[in-house]
Structure 1
Amino acid sequence: MGAVTKGPQQDRSRVTRLRLLEAAVACLAEHGWSGSTVSLVATRAGVSRGAAQHHFPTREDLFTAAVAYVAEQRSAALREALGPARGLMGPARTRLVVRELVGLYTGPLFRAALHLWVAAADEEPLRAGVTDLEARVGRETHRMAVRLLGADERRPGVRETVQGLLDMARGLGLANLLTDDTARRERVVEHWAGLLDEVLRG
Protein backbone atom coordinates (compact mmCIF):
# COMPACT_ATOMS: atom_id res chain seq x y z
CA MET A 1 0.00 0.00 0.00
CA GLY A 2 2.86 2.36 0.81
CA ALA A 3 4.23 2.00 -2.70
CA VAL A 4 0.87 3.04 -4.13
CA THR A 5 0.65 6.27 -2.13
CA LYS A 6 4.31 7.24 -2.39
CA GLY A 7 3.94 8.94 -5.78
CA PRO A 8 1.05 11.26 -4.84
CA GLN A 9 2.74 12.07 -1.53
CA GLN A 10 5.94 13.02 -3.32
CA ASP A 11 3.95 15.13 -5.79
CA ARG A 12 2.24 16.98 -2.93
CA SER A 13 5.59 17.50 -1.25
CA ARG A 14 7.08 18.96 -4.44
CA VAL A 15 4.07 21.23 -4.90
CA THR A 16 4.32 22.46 -1.30
CA ARG A 17 8.04 23.08 -1.66
CA LEU A 18 7.51 25.01 -4.90
CA ARG A 19 4.75 27.12 -3.31
CA LEU A 20 7.05 27.97 -0.42
CA LEU A 21 9.88 28.99 -2.75
CA GLU A 22 7.57 31.13 -4.89
CA ALA A 23 6.16 32.74 -1.75
CA ALA A 24 9.68 33.37 -0.41
CA VAL A 25 10.67 35.13 -3.64
CA ALA A 26 7.49 37.22 -3.63
CA CYS A 27 8.00 38.21 0.01
CA LEU A 28 11.59 39.22 -0.67
CA ALA A 29 10.50 41.34 -3.62
CA GLU A 30 7.77 43.06 -1.61
CA HIS A 31 9.11 43.20 1.95
CA GLY A 32 12.87 42.75 1.71
CA TRP A 33 14.95 40.48 3.89
CA SER A 34 14.05 41.94 7.27
CA GLY A 35 10.31 41.77 6.56
CA SER A 36 10.33 38.25 5.16
CA THR A 37 9.74 35.77 7.97
CA VAL A 38 9.03 32.06 7.75
CA SER A 39 5.53 32.69 9.10
CA LEU A 40 4.81 35.30 6.44
CA VAL A 41 6.09 32.99 3.70
CA ALA A 42 4.05 30.08 5.02
CA THR A 43 0.90 32.19 5.16
CA ARG A 44 1.43 33.42 1.63
CA ALA A 45 2.04 29.86 0.43
CA GLY A 46 -1.14 28.66 2.16
CA VAL A 47 0.63 26.16 4.40
CA SER A 48 1.26 25.93 8.12
CA ARG A 49 4.49 27.12 9.69
CA GLY A 50 5.12 23.52 10.70
CA ALA A 51 4.84 22.38 7.09
CA ALA A 52 7.25 25.12 6.05
CA GLN A 53 9.76 24.06 8.68
CA HIS A 54 9.40 20.43 7.61
CA HIS A 55 10.79 21.43 4.19
CA PHE A 56 13.11 24.18 5.44
CA PRO A 57 14.08 23.80 9.13
CA THR A 58 15.55 27.31 9.39
CA ARG A 59 14.97 30.71 7.82
CA GLU A 60 18.42 30.50 6.24
CA ASP A 61 17.54 27.12 4.69
CA LEU A 62 14.40 28.59 3.15
CA PHE A 63 16.02 31.66 1.66
CA THR A 64 19.17 29.85 0.56
CA ALA A 65 16.88 27.56 -1.43
CA ALA A 66 15.09 30.66 -2.69
CA VAL A 67 18.45 31.93 -3.99
CA ALA A 68 18.80 28.83 -6.15
CA TYR A 69 15.18 29.06 -7.25
CA VAL A 70 15.56 32.69 -8.27
CA ALA A 71 18.71 31.83 -10.23
CA GLU A 72 16.90 29.03 -12.08
CA GLN A 73 13.89 31.23 -12.82
CA ARG A 74 16.07 34.08 -14.08
CA SER A 75 17.93 31.72 -16.39
CA ALA A 76 14.67 30.29 -17.73
CA ALA A 77 13.19 33.76 -18.19
CA LEU A 78 16.32 34.84 -20.04
CA ARG A 79 16.15 31.90 -22.46
CA GLU A 80 12.45 32.49 -23.10
CA ALA A 81 12.74 36.26 -23.53
CA LEU A 82 15.66 36.08 -25.94
CA GLY A 83 14.33 33.20 -28.02
CA PRO A 84 12.63 35.44 -30.64
CA ALA A 85 15.93 37.22 -31.33
CA ARG A 86 17.16 34.14 -33.20
CA GLY A 87 14.85 35.00 -36.09
CA LEU A 88 16.07 38.58 -36.49
CA MET A 89 19.15 40.19 -37.99
CA GLY A 90 21.09 43.43 -37.65
CA PRO A 91 19.78 46.42 -35.68
CA ALA A 92 16.37 44.80 -35.07
CA ARG A 93 18.02 41.87 -33.31
CA THR A 94 20.31 44.13 -31.31
CA ARG A 95 17.40 46.27 -30.19
CA LEU A 96 15.34 43.24 -29.10
CA VAL A 97 18.22 41.71 -27.13
CA VAL A 98 18.94 44.99 -25.34
CA ARG A 99 15.26 45.56 -24.58
CA GLU A 100 14.71 42.05 -23.21
CA LEU A 101 17.85 42.08 -21.10
CA VAL A 102 16.84 45.38 -19.55
CA GLY A 103 13.35 43.99 -18.98
CA LEU A 104 14.75 41.07 -17.02
CA TYR A 105 16.76 43.40 -14.81
CA THR A 106 13.76 45.60 -14.07
CA GLY A 107 11.33 42.78 -13.24
CA PRO A 108 10.31 41.08 -9.97
CA LEU A 109 12.92 38.30 -10.17
CA PHE A 110 15.72 40.87 -10.20
CA ARG A 111 14.06 42.75 -7.35
CA ALA A 112 14.00 39.57 -5.26
CA ALA A 113 17.60 38.81 -6.20
CA LEU A 114 18.65 42.31 -5.16
CA HIS A 115 17.15 41.84 -1.71
CA LEU A 116 19.11 38.61 -1.44
CA TRP A 117 22.32 40.46 -2.37
CA VAL A 118 21.71 43.05 0.34
CA ALA A 119 20.91 40.36 2.90
CA ALA A 120 23.97 38.33 1.91
CA ALA A 121 26.21 41.29 2.71
CA ASP A 122 25.24 40.91 6.38
CA GLU A 123 24.10 37.28 6.61
CA GLU A 124 27.04 34.88 6.42
CA PRO A 125 24.88 31.75 5.80
CA LEU A 126 23.52 33.35 2.61
CA ARG A 127 26.71 34.91 1.28
CA ALA A 128 28.38 31.90 -0.32
CA GLY A 129 25.19 30.71 -2.02
CA VAL A 130 24.30 34.13 -3.36
CA THR A 131 27.84 34.80 -4.61
CA ASP A 132 28.16 31.45 -6.39
CA LEU A 133 24.72 31.55 -7.99
CA GLU A 134 25.05 35.16 -9.11
CA ALA A 135 28.36 34.32 -10.75
CA ARG A 136 26.68 31.43 -12.57
CA VAL A 137 23.73 33.53 -13.71
CA GLY A 138 26.09 36.31 -14.80
CA ARG A 139 28.19 33.94 -16.91
CA GLU A 140 25.12 32.42 -18.53
CA THR A 141 23.63 35.82 -19.26
CA HIS A 142 26.86 37.02 -20.86
CA ARG A 143 27.21 33.87 -22.99
CA MET A 144 23.63 34.08 -24.20
CA ALA A 145 23.90 37.79 -24.99
CA VAL A 146 27.10 37.20 -27.00
CA ARG A 147 25.52 34.35 -28.95
CA LEU A 148 22.27 36.13 -29.74
CA LEU A 149 23.98 39.37 -30.67
CA GLY A 150 26.34 37.52 -32.96
CA ALA A 151 29.19 39.28 -31.16
CA ASP A 152 32.78 38.37 -32.03
CA GLU A 153 34.63 38.82 -28.74
CA ARG A 154 37.98 38.37 -30.48
CA ARG A 155 37.59 41.91 -31.79
CA PRO A 156 38.92 44.64 -29.47
CA GLY A 157 36.29 46.25 -27.28
CA VAL A 158 33.42 43.86 -28.10
CA ARG A 159 33.56 41.85 -24.87
CA GLU A 160 33.76 45.03 -22.81
CA THR A 161 30.82 46.54 -24.69
CA VAL A 162 28.63 43.49 -24.06
CA GLN A 163 29.59 43.52 -20.40
CA GLY A 164 28.83 47.23 -20.32
CA LEU A 165 25.35 46.42 -21.65
CA LEU A 166 24.75 44.03 -18.76
CA ASP A 167 26.09 46.53 -16.23
CA MET A 168 23.87 49.22 -17.73
CA ALA A 169 20.83 46.92 -17.54
CA ARG A 170 21.58 46.16 -13.90
CA GLY A 171 21.91 49.87 -13.15
CA LEU A 172 18.54 50.58 -14.75
CA GLY A 173 17.07 47.84 -12.60
CA LEU A 174 18.42 49.53 -9.49
CA ALA A 175 17.01 52.90 -10.56
CA ASN A 176 13.62 51.28 -11.11
CA LEU A 177 13.44 50.20 -7.47
CA LEU A 178 12.77 53.72 -6.25
CA THR A 179 10.75 55.30 -9.04
CA ASP A 180 9.01 54.33 -12.26
CA ASP A 181 11.87 54.99 -14.64
CA THR A 182 10.08 53.76 -17.78
CA ALA A 183 10.28 56.90 -19.94
CA ARG A 184 13.99 57.55 -19.37
CA ARG A 185 14.74 53.84 -19.64
CA GLU A 186 13.17 53.66 -23.10
CA ARG A 187 15.44 56.44 -24.35
CA VAL A 188 18.51 54.83 -22.83
CA VAL A 189 17.65 51.45 -24.35
CA GLU A 190 17.24 52.92 -27.83
CA HIS A 191 20.48 54.89 -27.58
CA TRP A 192 22.47 51.97 -26.19
CA ALA A 193 21.12 49.60 -28.83
CA GLY A 194 22.36 51.95 -31.55
CA LEU A 195 25.82 52.26 -29.99
CA LEU A 196 26.07 48.52 -29.45
CA ASP A 197 25.07 47.77 -33.02
CA GLU A 198 27.77 50.10 -34.33
CA VAL A 199 30.42 48.30 -32.25
CA LEU A 200 29.18 44.85 -33.26
CA ARG A 201 29.09 45.65 -36.96
CA GLY A 202 32.49 47.34 -36.89
Structure 2
Amino acid sequence: MTPTKGELRRIALLDAAEHVLVTSGNANATMRNIAAASDVRIGHLQHYFPTRSDLMQAVLERVLQRSLAWMRETTGIDLDVGGDAPISRVQTALIFASMMQQQNEPTTVRLYVEIWAMAASDAEIATVLRDFYAHYSGYVEVIVHRAQPGLEASALQAKANSIVALFEGAAIVSAGFAGLRSEGTDIVLLDAIQHLIHGS
Protein backbone atom coordinates (compact mmCIF):
# COMPACT_ATOMS: atom_id res chain seq x y z
CA MET A 1 0.00 0.00 0.00
CA THR A 2 1.45 3.35 -1.07
CA PRO A 3 1.87 5.83 1.80
CA THR A 4 -0.14 9.04 1.56
CA LYS A 5 1.52 12.42 1.29
CA GLY A 6 0.68 13.06 4.94
CA GLU A 7 2.23 9.74 6.01
CA LEU A 8 5.38 10.51 4.04
CA ARG A 9 5.59 13.96 5.67
CA ARG A 10 5.15 12.40 9.11
CA ILE A 11 7.96 9.91 8.39
CA ALA A 12 10.23 12.76 7.25
CA LEU A 13 9.50 14.73 10.42
CA LEU A 14 10.30 11.71 12.61
CA ASP A 15 13.50 11.12 10.63
CA ALA A 16 14.49 14.74 11.26
CA ALA A 17 13.71 14.47 14.99
CA GLU A 18 15.88 11.36 15.32
CA HIS A 19 18.68 13.00 13.33
CA VAL A 20 18.67 16.13 15.51
CA LEU A 21 18.64 14.07 18.72
CA VAL A 22 21.52 11.84 17.64
CA THR A 23 23.72 14.49 16.04
CA SER A 24 22.96 17.59 18.12
CA GLY A 25 21.79 16.21 21.46
CA ASN A 26 18.67 16.66 23.52
CA ALA A 27 19.42 20.27 24.43
CA ASN A 28 19.16 21.20 20.74
CA ALA A 29 16.13 19.02 20.01
CA THR A 30 13.71 21.92 20.06
CA MET A 31 10.62 22.03 17.89
CA ARG A 32 12.17 24.95 16.00
CA ASN A 33 15.41 23.06 15.26
CA ILE A 34 13.56 19.92 14.23
CA ALA A 35 11.31 21.96 11.93
CA ALA A 36 14.41 23.59 10.42
CA ALA A 37 16.03 20.17 9.89
CA SER A 38 12.84 19.12 8.08
CA ASP A 39 12.85 22.32 6.02
CA VAL A 40 9.32 23.19 7.20
CA ARG A 41 7.79 25.95 9.32
CA ILE A 42 7.29 25.17 13.00
CA GLY A 43 3.52 25.42 12.49
CA HIS A 44 3.72 22.62 9.95
CA LEU A 45 5.59 20.42 12.43
CA GLN A 46 3.00 21.24 15.10
CA HIS A 47 0.20 20.23 12.75
CA TYR A 48 1.51 16.65 13.00
CA PHE A 49 2.99 16.83 16.51
CA PRO A 50 1.47 19.65 18.59
CA THR A 51 4.08 19.36 21.37
CA ARG A 52 7.60 18.07 21.80
CA SER A 53 6.27 15.29 24.03
CA ASP A 54 3.90 14.20 21.23
CA LEU A 55 6.88 14.11 18.89
CA MET A 56 9.06 12.11 21.31
CA GLN A 57 6.20 9.68 21.90
CA ALA A 58 5.99 9.05 18.16
CA VAL A 59 9.79 8.69 17.90
CA LEU A 60 9.86 6.08 20.69
CA GLU A 61 6.89 4.18 19.29
CA ARG A 62 8.57 4.02 15.90
CA VAL A 63 11.83 2.77 17.46
CA LEU A 64 9.92 0.03 19.29
CA GLN A 65 8.06 -1.00 16.13
CA ARG A 66 11.35 -1.07 14.20
CA SER A 67 12.82 -3.29 16.88
CA LEU A 68 9.86 -5.68 16.76
CA ALA A 69 9.99 -5.77 12.95
CA TRP A 70 13.72 -6.56 13.04
CA MET A 71 13.06 -9.33 15.54
CA ARG A 72 10.30 -10.84 13.35
CA GLU A 73 12.55 -10.63 10.30
CA THR A 74 15.61 -12.20 11.95
CA THR A 75 13.86 -14.85 14.07
CA GLY A 76 10.51 -15.55 12.39
CA ILE A 77 8.86 -14.99 15.79
CA ASP A 78 5.97 -12.52 16.06
CA LEU A 79 4.96 -11.67 19.63
CA ASP A 80 1.61 -10.35 18.38
CA VAL A 81 0.78 -13.81 17.02
CA GLY A 82 0.62 -17.10 18.90
CA GLY A 83 -1.42 -16.16 21.94
CA ASP A 84 -0.54 -18.41 24.86
CA ALA A 85 1.43 -20.98 22.83
CA PRO A 86 4.46 -22.19 24.82
CA ILE A 87 7.77 -20.60 23.94
CA SER A 88 11.00 -22.58 24.08
CA ARG A 89 14.47 -21.68 25.31
CA VAL A 90 15.66 -21.84 21.71
CA GLN A 91 13.05 -19.28 20.69
CA THR A 92 13.80 -16.93 23.58
CA ALA A 93 17.52 -17.20 22.85
CA LEU A 94 16.78 -16.16 19.25
CA ILE A 95 14.64 -13.23 20.42
CA PHE A 96 17.25 -11.86 22.78
CA ALA A 97 20.13 -12.49 20.38
CA SER A 98 18.19 -10.37 17.89
CA MET A 99 17.73 -7.64 20.49
CA MET A 100 21.42 -7.73 21.36
CA GLN A 101 22.30 -7.35 17.67
CA GLN A 102 20.26 -4.16 17.63
CA GLN A 103 22.35 -2.85 20.51
CA ASN A 104 25.34 -2.89 18.17
CA GLU A 105 23.78 0.13 16.44
CA PRO A 106 25.24 3.12 18.35
CA THR A 107 22.80 5.64 16.87
CA THR A 108 19.82 3.79 18.33
CA VAL A 109 21.42 3.69 21.76
CA ARG A 110 22.40 7.37 21.45
CA LEU A 111 18.77 8.17 20.64
CA TYR A 112 17.64 6.50 23.88
CA VAL A 113 20.35 8.24 25.89
CA GLU A 114 19.29 11.65 24.58
CA ILE A 115 15.62 11.01 25.35
CA TRP A 116 16.54 9.78 28.86
CA ALA A 117 18.49 13.00 29.39
CA MET A 118 15.56 15.04 28.10
CA ALA A 119 13.19 13.22 30.47
CA ALA A 120 15.41 14.10 33.44
CA SER A 121 14.42 17.76 33.13
CA ASP A 122 11.04 17.60 31.37
CA ALA A 123 8.10 16.06 33.24
CA GLU A 124 6.03 15.57 30.06
CA ILE A 125 8.85 13.69 28.33
CA ALA A 126 9.34 11.64 31.51
CA THR A 127 5.67 10.61 31.31
CA VAL A 128 6.12 9.65 27.65
CA LEU A 129 9.20 7.59 28.57
CA ARG A 130 7.35 5.77 31.36
CA ASP A 131 4.53 4.92 28.95
CA PHE A 132 7.06 3.67 26.41
CA TYR A 133 8.73 1.38 28.95
CA ALA A 134 5.36 0.08 30.11
CA HIS A 135 4.60 -0.83 26.49
CA TYR A 136 8.06 -2.38 25.99
CA SER A 137 7.75 -4.36 29.23
CA GLY A 138 4.33 -5.56 28.08
CA TYR A 139 5.95 -7.34 25.13
CA VAL A 140 8.44 -8.97 27.50
CA GLU A 141 5.54 -10.05 29.73
CA VAL A 142 4.10 -11.90 26.73
CA ILE A 143 7.35 -13.86 26.42
CA VAL A 144 7.55 -14.69 30.13
CA HIS A 145 3.85 -15.65 30.27
CA ARG A 146 4.31 -18.06 27.34
CA ALA A 147 7.25 -19.66 29.19
CA GLN A 148 5.64 -19.66 32.65
CA PRO A 149 1.86 -19.43 32.20
CA GLY A 150 1.15 -20.07 35.89
CA LEU A 151 2.89 -16.94 37.20
CA GLU A 152 0.84 -14.42 39.16
CA ALA A 153 0.49 -11.01 37.51
CA SER A 154 2.81 -9.28 39.99
CA ALA A 155 5.58 -11.87 39.51
CA LEU A 156 5.15 -11.71 35.74
CA GLN A 157 5.49 -7.93 35.75
CA ALA A 158 8.50 -8.05 38.10
CA LYS A 159 10.32 -10.52 35.83
CA ALA A 160 9.51 -8.50 32.69
CA ASN A 161 10.65 -5.25 34.29
CA SER A 162 13.88 -6.92 35.45
CA ILE A 163 14.60 -8.18 31.93
CA VAL A 164 14.00 -4.70 30.51
CA ALA A 165 16.34 -3.24 33.14
CA LEU A 166 19.05 -5.77 32.23
CA PHE A 167 18.69 -4.99 28.55
CA GLU A 168 18.71 -1.24 28.99
CA GLY A 169 21.89 -1.46 31.05
CA ALA A 170 23.36 -3.80 28.46
CA ALA A 171 22.54 -1.27 25.75
CA ILE A 172 24.83 1.28 27.38
CA VAL A 173 27.59 -1.32 27.71
CA SER A 174 27.09 -2.59 24.16
CA ALA A 175 27.26 0.87 22.63
CA GLY A 176 30.74 1.33 24.04
CA PHE A 177 29.92 4.10 26.53
CA ALA A 178 31.08 1.96 29.45
CA GLY A 179 33.67 -0.12 27.60
CA LEU A 180 32.53 -3.37 29.22
CA ARG A 181 31.22 -5.32 26.24
CA SER A 182 32.56 -8.85 25.82
CA GLU A 183 31.37 -12.18 24.49
CA GLY A 184 31.48 -13.57 28.02
CA THR A 185 29.28 -10.73 29.30
CA ASP A 186 26.72 -11.43 26.58
CA ILE A 187 26.62 -15.12 27.53
CA VAL A 188 26.10 -14.37 31.23
CA LEU A 189 23.43 -11.80 30.39
CA LEU A 190 21.55 -14.27 28.21
CA ASP A 191 21.80 -16.95 30.93
CA ALA A 192 20.32 -14.51 33.47
CA ILE A 193 17.50 -13.57 31.12
CA GLN A 194 16.76 -17.21 30.31
CA HIS A 195 16.55 -17.94 34.04
CA LEU A 196 14.08 -15.08 34.53
CA ILE A 197 11.97 -16.21 31.57
CA HIS A 198 11.94 -19.96 32.13
CA GLY A 199 12.42 -20.10 35.88
CA SER A 200 15.23 -22.65 35.91
TM over 0.5: yes
Corresponding residue for 1:170?
168
The one-letter amino acid of 1:142's match is: V
CA contact (8 A) 1:146 1:162 kept: yes
Answering whether residue 73 of structure 2 is matched by residue 80 of structure 1, we say no
| Displacement of 1:105 | 5.2
Query: What aligned pairs does 1:2-151 form with structure 2 within 5 A after superposition?
Result: 11-45=4-38, 47-48=39-40, 50=41, 52-56=42-46, 61-83=50-72, 84=75, 86=77, 90-104=88-102, 107=105, 108-131=107-130, 133-146=131-144, 150-151=147-148
| Displacement of 1:19 | 0.9
Query: Aligned partners of 1:102 and 1:191: how far apart in 2?
Result: 13
The one-letter amino acid of 2:90's match is: A
More helix by share: 1
| Displacement of 1:154 | 1.7
| Alignment: residue pair count | 185
RMSD: 3.7
Query: Aligned partners of 2:21 and 2:57: how far apart in 1?
Result: 14
Larger Rg, first or second structure (1 or 2): 1
Q: Which runs of 4+ in 1 moved over 6 A?
A: none
Corresponding residue for 2:83?
none
TM-score where L is the length of structure 2: 0.68
| Displacement of 1:140 | 2.6
| Structure 2 unaligned residues grouped into runs of 5+ | 79-86
Corresponding residue for 2:191?
194
Residue identity over aligned pairs, in percent, reads 11
TM-score where L is the length of structure 1: 0.68
